[in-house]
Amino acid sequence: MNNQVGIPLRVLVFHGSLRTESLNGRLAALAARTIEGRGNEVDLGAMSDFDCPSYDPDVEHEQGVPAGAESLCRRLKAADAFVIASPEYNASMPGLVKNAIDWTSRIRPQPFNGMQGLLMSASPSMAGGNRGLWSLRIPLEHLGARVYPDMFSLAQAHEAFADAGRLANDVLQKRFDETIGCFLDLVEAAKHYPRLKKQWVEFLGEHPNRAIDRVETSEVGAA
Ligand SMILES: Cc1cc2nc3c(=O)[nH]c(=O)nc-3n(C[C@H](O)[C@H](O)[C@H](O)COP(=O)(O)O)c2cc1C
């Protein structure tokens, strides 16, 4: 149920808020400590590292992809998996998170393709921002990411953290640990025992045409 005796992994962990006191930042930090506590390496990022101006095809044409997207791409490629703790804004993901994904999706090879990802959220609400994660899952899966089926949403997050940084509720803390442990087991299997071959086609259903085809073939987790 955990990768403590497994081969160390490198995981990019970041949160989707620019707020200094971000609850999702606290959840991301807790995830990072949990992953490191299992003998893995964490690259802990923040949304400020990846923030981009609003996507504009003209800007892309004239200036290329902004530094935030380049950075997200580089750090994804250096990792075996990613974890995002994202706020929920109006029952969806924050615009800046989608914007960073859109810019990053313009880079080839497209870095989300074949990556294992785990989604989590924190919100003062009773639903813990869970609806936002369902919207976040869509572009990531579209881009070929292997988004872990289980997600972790922390309800009433403004009251949920204990002083030591752990979750105040022991049962929730156990569930959090188990979710991360099971995810890491899958990442380890995908990295070291790759059997799954997949193809990513950006525009499924379009007429095949060598000049405009955007197709990538990969073995999930293959070195
Ligand atoms: C524009 C906006 C829309 C929001 N919509 C929701 C929402 O739909 N559901 C929810 O649970 N919280 C919503 N919130 C509250 C956020 O969950 C809360 O501000 C949270 O602390 C944001 O995450 P952060 O602490 O990581 O910045 C919204 C906040 C803002 C600013």
For residue range 191-213, what is the model confidence (pLDDT) as tens digits?
887 666 677 888 877 787 877 77
Identify residue 171 by its one-letter amino acid code: V
Q: What is the pLDDT of residue 222?
A: 47
Q: What is the pLDDT of residue 195?
A: 67
* pTM value > 0.75: yes
- State yes or no: pLDDT of 221 exceeds 70: no
- State yes or no: pLDDT of 74 exceeds 80: yes
Q: How many CB atoms lie within 10 A of CB 115?
A: 25
Q: What is the pLDDT of residue 213?
A: 77
Ligand 1 centroid – CA 154 distance (Å): 12
Question: Tell me, what DSSP letter sits at residue 160?
Answer: T
**Ligand 1: which residue has its CA nearest to atom 2?**
89
Q: In angstroms, how far is CA 184 from the centroid of its own chain?
A: 13
Segment 50-54 mean pLDDT? 98
- State yes or no: pLDDT of 179 exceeds 90: yes
Contact between 150 and 182 (Cβ < 8 Å)? yes
Least confident span in 23-27, 77-81, 123-127, 216-220? 216-220
- State yes or no: pLDDT of 156 exceeds 50: yes
- State yes or no: pLDDT of 31 exceeds 90: yes
Q: How many CB atoms lie within 10 A of CB 67?
A: 12
Mean pLDDT of the chain: 92
Distance CA 118, CA 146 (A): 9
Q: What is the pLDDT of residue 165?
A: 79
Segment 163-186 mean pLDDT? 95
Segment 68-76 mean pLDDT? 98
Residue 90 CB less than 6 A away from ligand 1: yes
Q: What is the pLDDT of residue 219?
A: 56
Q: Which has the higher per-residue pLDDT, 1 or 10?
A: 10
Distance CA 180, CA 187 (A): 10
Residue 80 CB less than 6 A away from ligand 1: no
Q: Which long-range contacts (CB under 8 A, 24 or more apart) does 200-209 make?
A: 200/110, 200/113, 200/114, 200/143, 200/144, 202/110
Sign of CA dihedral 200, 204, 210, 212: negative
Ligand 1 centroid – CA 111 distance (Å): 28
